[in-house]
């Protein structure tokens, strides 16, 4: 049994705690700076509780840390975990600036432990299957990609005014909190983004001033791409479309399906996944991380892939401020 410490047991941390428990492959402990929340969660799931990372790491050895605190704290906690000799699953986005990336990478390399970033689209079967198909190459090279995504954020996260979401410095706003998932997924499908032109604005969400609406025109190498996202819209829908030399691939994440249309076809050929609850996807992610820890193949986002997506987050914010397109290194 692996011993796993969940740091930050708020919205996503509690889900990770529950889903790691459900793998049956680990013993889970909880850590949160909020004493009341920690007591509630640790009692509900009958797990040991620690009031701080220092208290936890001083009390026993952990094989892995799952870092579920707000993004500006991720890297410092990751370095402490690496020094402890723990494997790391770090929530997205990796951080809010590029400060501390090199030190963190060195600490991970020195620890020799498995590290991944929890960009959960890597665990959606309909995304992974579409990726395998694209990499198979039968449609030729991708030439154009587009993403349309959004939901009514207040419905899914009623506390959005009281959490990290309210400020860019803590990982807030649509770019760092939501669009980052789609850009990371698209980078996984067609390769890294190389150019960003971003227009973003606060259009609708009450009680915050960060952007809730984003348009991005981008390039992933030779592939032209566009992204459109709002966090106030009625439909909870995410569609990714990739047009290649000989046909197209469409992923409808909300419908848990992906499809192909070859040149000459009259309609899409769909591949539908049996319905999966959100927790089931996080159990897939927890199992993938445990596999990675055990040296087995694992499709989770690597640290370096998450650094690349962090570069997108930073550059998109900069482009939206300057109004200029920016090349990514």
Ligand X SMILES: NC(=O)c1ccc[n+]([C@@H]2O[C@H](COP(=O)([O-])OP(=O)(O)OC[C@H]3O[C@@H](n4cnc5c(N)ncnc54)[C@H](O)[C@@H]3O)[C@@H](O)[C@H]2O)c1
3-state helix, strand, coil in the chain (%, to 5): 45, 30, 30
Degrees, nearest 5: CA angle 194-259-121: 50
**Run of H or E including 280:** helix 278-293
Core vs surface per residue 238-254: b (16+ CB within 10 A) or e? bebbbbbeebbbbbbbe
Nearest CA among 184, 77, 67 for reference residue 127:
184
> What are the start-end ranges of the E strands in the chain?
2-7, 26-31, 49-50, 64-67, 87-90, 115-117, 142-152, 195-201, 213-220, 223-230, 232-244, 247-252, 257-262, 269-272, 326-327
Question: What's the closest the beta carbon of residue 53 comes to ligand X, in angstroms?
Answer: 6
**For residues 74 and 104, is the Cβ–Cβ distance under 8 A?**
no
C-beta of 104 vs 260, nearer to ligand X: 104
Nearer to ligand X, 110 or 161 (CB): 161
Binding residues for ligand X (CB under 6 A): 7-13, 31-34, 37, 53, 68-71, 73, 91-92, 118, 120, 163-164, 171, 177
Least Å distance between CB 141 and ligand X? 30
Q: Minimum Å distance from CB 169 to ligand X?
A: 13
* Residue with smaller CB distance to ligand X, 212 or 244: 212
Residue closer to ligand X (CB basis): 47 or 134: 47
| d(C-alpha 102, C-alpha 65), whole Å | 20
Query: How far, in Å, are 134, 244, 266, 271, 313 from residue 261 at the CA level?
Result: 12, 10, 8, 12, 32
Instruction: Name the minimum Å distance from CB 234 to ligand X.
Output: 21
The minimum distance between CB 126 and ligand X, in angstroms, equals 16
Q: Which residues pair with 238 in a beta bridge?
A: 149
Closer Cβ to ligand X, 147 or 249, answer by number = 147
Find tokens 């290649």 and name the residue: 244
State CA 114 to chain mean position distance: 17
Minimum Å gap between C-beta 281 and ligand X is 9
Closest approach of ligand X to the CB of residue 20, in Å = 14
- 42 or 69: whose CB is closer to ligand X? 69
Nearer to ligand X, 71 or 108 (CB): 71
CB closer to ligand X, 92 vs 314: 92
Minimum distance from CB of 223 to ligand X (Å)?
25
Residue nearest to ligand X (CB): 10
């Amino acid at each position: 049994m692996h011993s796993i410490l969940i740091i930050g047991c708020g919205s996503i941390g509690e889900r990770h705690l529950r889903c790691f428990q459900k793998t049956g492959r680990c013993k889970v402990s909880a850590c949160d700076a909020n004493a009341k929340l920690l007591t509630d969660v640790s009692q509900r799931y009958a797990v040991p509780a620690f009031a701080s990372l220092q208290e936890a790491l001083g009390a026993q050895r952990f094989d892995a840390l799952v870092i579920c605190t707000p993004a500006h704290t991720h890297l410092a906690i990751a370095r402490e975990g690496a020094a402890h000799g723990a494997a790391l699953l770090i929530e997205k986005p990796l951080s809010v600036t590029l400060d501390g990336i090199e030190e963190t990478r060195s600490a991970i390399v020195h620890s020799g432990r498995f590290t991944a970033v929890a960009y959960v689209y890597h665990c959606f079967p309909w995304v992974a299957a579409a990726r395998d198909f694209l990499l198979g190459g039968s449609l030729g090279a991708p030439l154009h990609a587009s993403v349309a995504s959004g939901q009514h954020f207040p419905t899914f996260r009623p506390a959005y005014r009281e959490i990290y979401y309210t400020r860019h410095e803590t990982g807030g706003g649509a770019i760092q909190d939501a669009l980052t998932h789609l850009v990371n997924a698209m980078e996984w499908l067609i390769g890294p983004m190389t150019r960003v032109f971003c227009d973003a604005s606060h259009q609708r969400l009450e009680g915050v001033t960060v952007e809730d609406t984003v348009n991005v025109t981008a390039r992933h190498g030779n592939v032209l791409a566009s992204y459109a996202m709002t966090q106030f819209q009625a439909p909870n829908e995410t569609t990714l479309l990739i047009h290649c030399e000989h046909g197209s691939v469409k992923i409808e994440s909300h419908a848990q399906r992906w499809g192909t249309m070859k040149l000459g076809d009259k309609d899409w050929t769909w591949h539908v996944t049996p319905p999966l609850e959100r927790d089931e996807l996080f159990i897939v992610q927890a199992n993938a991380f445990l596999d990675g820890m055990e040296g087995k193949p694992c499709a989770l986002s690597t640290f370096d892939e998450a650094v690349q997506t962090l570069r997108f987050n930073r550059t998109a914010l900069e482009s939206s401020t300057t109004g200029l397109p920016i090349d990514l290194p």
